[in-house]
């Protein structure tokens, strides 16, 4: 991993938080934060993180487990828990940790395992963009037309990728399948995609329910269509380089829902980000305590493997 990539999440989070403090004065933000129902938000955030953690084991099992190299639910849950020590600070490193541990337990290639991670990202993108488009279609928010255009264009692009892969000539498909980036093509079917779509829809429904309840608790809830059109884009923003979504999440809430009570939205977003970070760190530390597995060497190794020439990369044993 290049040096600038290591500090990019910190720079993005710091820059966006600074911009938000310029838009919403620190005094107004502190006053809004003092009025938040902290106990209710804390319980809601802890419950959300634990439910997502338990459900994510099923999602990752559906992506990475194969007939030749099965992975049990508890093993996958342990892998996810360990990854929280890194994803709480840097989501890309957390995903890299999942890839490393899956490849290590399956005795497979890092590149092959990473290619299946791309499948997960693709399904997530289709779900979130589709939800945003549907919400914007029925929303009366002034931002709804722009969201419809953005989500519509993104959805056409994503579906176009699936069409190209599905309708490409057999010879080209076989050639791609024989590479480590494409050998999942022979095992992956529409049934696998349907199962993963259903699992991830439930996953994001939990996040959507959390956001809805948090907005209601904080007294800044909009209509159903507006929330459906914006929260998926907030979750898309979470995937940008940042410290556990810190800065990207608050900026997205501010820009998409901030016609009124912007300081409350920013305060709620900060609580959301810090809650995710702290609870995920706690889960990761519990897994580390009971397993004693080392984390930093695998993270460094996978960064070097994915950044460099992987043509001669050996299998992870």
Residue 91 lies in a domain: yes
Q: What is the pLDDT of residue 304?
A: 47
Residue 293 lies in a domain: yes
3-state secondary structure the chain: CCHHHHHHHHHHHHHHHHHHHHHCCHHHHHHHHHHCCHHHHHHHHHHHHHHHHHHHHHHHHHHHCCCCCCCCHHHHHHHHHHHHHHHCCCHHHHHHHHHHHHHHHHCCCHHHHHHHHHHHHHHHHHHHHHHHHHHHHHCCCCCHHHHHHHHHHHHHHHHHHHHHHHHCCHHHHHHHHCCCCCHHHHCCCHHHHHHHHHHHHHHHHHHHHHHHHHHHHCCCCCCHHHHHHHHHHHHHHHCCCCECCECHHHHHHHHHHCCCCHHHHHHHHHHHHHHHHHHHHHHHHHHHHHHCCCCHHHHHHHHHHHHCCCCCCCCCC
Residue 170 lies in a domain: yes
Task: Measure the CA–CA gap between 226 and 102, rounded to whole angstroms.
Answer: 38
Q: What is the pLDDT of residues 170-220, one digit of tens each?
A: 777 777 767 767 767 667 788 989 999 999 999 999 999 999 999 999 988
Task: Measure the CA–CA gap between 31 and 21, rounded to whole angstroms.
Answer: 13
Low-confidence residues of the chain, pLDDT below 50? 296-299, 301-302, 304-306, 308-314, 317
Which residues span the domain enclosing 214? Answer: 37-306
Question: Furthest-apart CA pair in the chain: how many Å?
Answer: 64
Q: What is the pLDDT of residue 312?
A: 38
Contact by Cβ (8 Å): 180, 112:
yes
Residue 228 lies in a domain: yes
Neighbours of 146 (CB within 10 A): 12
Residue 4 lies in a domain: no
Q: What is the pLDDT of residue 86?
A: 83
CA dihedral 10→12→13→14, nearest 10 degrees, is: 80
Residues 6+ apart with CB under 8 A from 200: 59, 120, 123, 124, 127
Q: What is the pLDDT of residue 297?
A: 44
Residue 247 lies in a domain: yes
Q: What is the pLDDT of residue 125?
A: 94
Half-sphere exposure of 197 (CA within 13 A, CB side): 10
Global pTM? 0.87
Residue 315 lies in a domain: no
Q: What is the total count of domains within the chain?
A: 1
Q: What is the pLDDT of residue 6?
A: 65
Q: What is the pLDDT of residue 70?
A: 83
Residue carrying structure tokens 């529409």: 190
The tokens for 99 are 């890839």
Residue 20 lies in a domain: no
Task: Measure the CA–CA gap between 94 and 56, rounded to whole angstroms.
Answer: 13
Task: Measure the CA–CA gap between 130 and 128, rounded to whole angstroms.
Answer: 5
Task: Measure the CA–CA gap between 270 and 232, rounded to whole angstroms.
Answer: 18
Task: Measure the CA–CA gap between 78 and 181, rounded to whole angstroms.
Answer: 25
> For residue 267, how far is the Cα from the chain centroid?
21
């Amino acid at each position: 991993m290049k040096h600038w990539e290591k500090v990019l999440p910190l720079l993005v989070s710091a820059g966006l938080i600074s911009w938000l403090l310029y838009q919403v004065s620190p005094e107004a933000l502190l006053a809004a934060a003092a009025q938040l129902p902290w106990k209710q938000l804390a319980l809601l955030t802890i419950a959300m993180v634990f439910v997502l953690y338990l459900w994510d084991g099923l999602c990752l099992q559906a992506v990475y487990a194969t007939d030749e190299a099965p992975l049990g639910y508890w093993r996958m849950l342990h892998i996810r828990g360990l990854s929280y020590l890194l994803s709480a600070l840097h989501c890309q490193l957390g995903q890299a940790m999942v890839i490393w541990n899956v490849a290590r337990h399956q005795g497979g290639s890092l590149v092959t395992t990473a290619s299946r991670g791309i499948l997960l990202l693709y399904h997530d993108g289709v779900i979130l963009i589709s939800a945003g488009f549907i919400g914007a279609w029925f929303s009366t928010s002034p931002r709804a037309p722009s969201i419809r255009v953005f989500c519509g264009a993104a959805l056409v692009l994503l579906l176009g990728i699936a069409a190209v892969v599905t309708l490409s000539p057999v010879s080209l498909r076989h050639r791609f399948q024989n590479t480590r980036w494409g050998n999942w093509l022979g095992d992956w079917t529409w049934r696998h995609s349907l199962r993963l779509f259903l699992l991830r829809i439930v996953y994001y429904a939990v996040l959507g329910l959390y956001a809805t309840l948090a907005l209601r608790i904080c007294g800044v809830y909009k209509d159903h269509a507006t929330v459906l059109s914006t929260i998926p884009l907030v979750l898309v923003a979470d995937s940008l380089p940042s410290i556990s979504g810190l800065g990207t999440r608050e900026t997205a809430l501010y820009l998409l829902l901030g016609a009124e009570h912007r300081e409350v939205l920013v305060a709620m977003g900060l609580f959301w980000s810090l809650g995710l970070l702290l609870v995920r760190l706690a889960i990761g530390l519990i897994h580390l305590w009971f397993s004693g597995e080392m984390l930093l060497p695998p993270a460094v190794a996978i960064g070097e493997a994915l950044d460099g020439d992987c043509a001669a990369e050996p299998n992870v044993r």
